[in-house]
Amino acid sequence: MSKYNTHVSAVRWSLFGIVFVSIFAVTPAYLVADTLDAPPADQPVAVAPAPQQAAAVVHPEWSYDASIYEVNIRQYTPEGTFKAFQAHLPRLQAMGVEILWLMPIHPIGEVNRKGTLGSHYAVKDFREVNPSYGTMDDFKALVDDSHQRGMRVILDWVPNHTAWDNPLTVEHPDWYTKDEQGNFIPPVPDWDDVIDLDYDNEDLWRYMLDSLAFWVRDAGVDGYRVDVAGMVPLDFWAQARRELNEIKPVFLLAEWDDPAAHRDAYDMTYAWSLNGVFHGIVNGEATAEDLWTHLQEEDARYADEAIRMYFTSNHDENSWNGSAVERYGDAAEAFAVLTLTLDGMPLVYSGQEAGIDRRLEFFDKDEIEWKDHPMAEVYKTLLNLRKTNKALAAGGRGGAVKRLDQGAEDYFSFTREREGDGVIVVANLTDQPCEVTVLSRMGGDGYTDVFTGEAVTWNPGDKVSLGPWGYRVLSR
Choose the final residue of a domain: 360, 376, 399. 399
Rounded CA separation 339/353 (Å):
14
464 and 331 assigned to the same domain: no
Higher per-residue pLDDT: 154 or 8: 154
Q: Which residues contact 348 (CB under 8 A, 6 or more apart)?
A: 67, 68, 69, 70, 97, 379, 383
388 and 310 assigned to the same domain: yes
Integer distance in angstroms from the first to the last C-alpha of the chain?
38
Predicted local confidence at residue 161, as pLDDT: 98
48 and 120 assigned to the same domain: yes
* 431: pLDDT strictly greater than 90: yes
Run of H or E residues at 310: strand 307-310
- pTM of the predicted model, to two decimals? 0.90
333 and 417 assigned to the same domain: no
Q: Which of 178, 165, 187 is nearest to 118 (CA)?
A: 165
383 and 335 assigned to the same domain: yes
Structural domain boundaries enclosing 269: 11-399
Q: What is the pLDDT of residues 435-474, one digit of tens each?
A: 998 886 666 678 999 999 999 998 888 999 999 999 999 9
316 and 462 assigned to the same domain: no
373 and 225 assigned to the same domain: yes
88 and 224 assigned to the same domain: yes
Predicted local confidence at residue 50, as pLDDT: 43
Rounded CA separation 82/105 (Å):
9
Q: What is the pLDDT of residues 98-153, one digit of tens each?
A: 999 999 999 999 999 999 999 999 999 999 999 999 999 999 999 999 999 999 99
66 and 153 assigned to the same domain: yes
Choose the final residue of a domain: 399, 427, 442. 399
- Asked if residue 90 is part of any domain, the answer here is yes
Predicted local confidence at residue 444, as pLDDT: 66
Q: What is the pLDDT of residues 325-377, one digit of tens each?
A: 999 999 999 999 999 999 999 999 999 999 999 999 999 999 999 999 999 99
Number of domains in the chain: 2
113 and 25 assigned to the same domain: yes
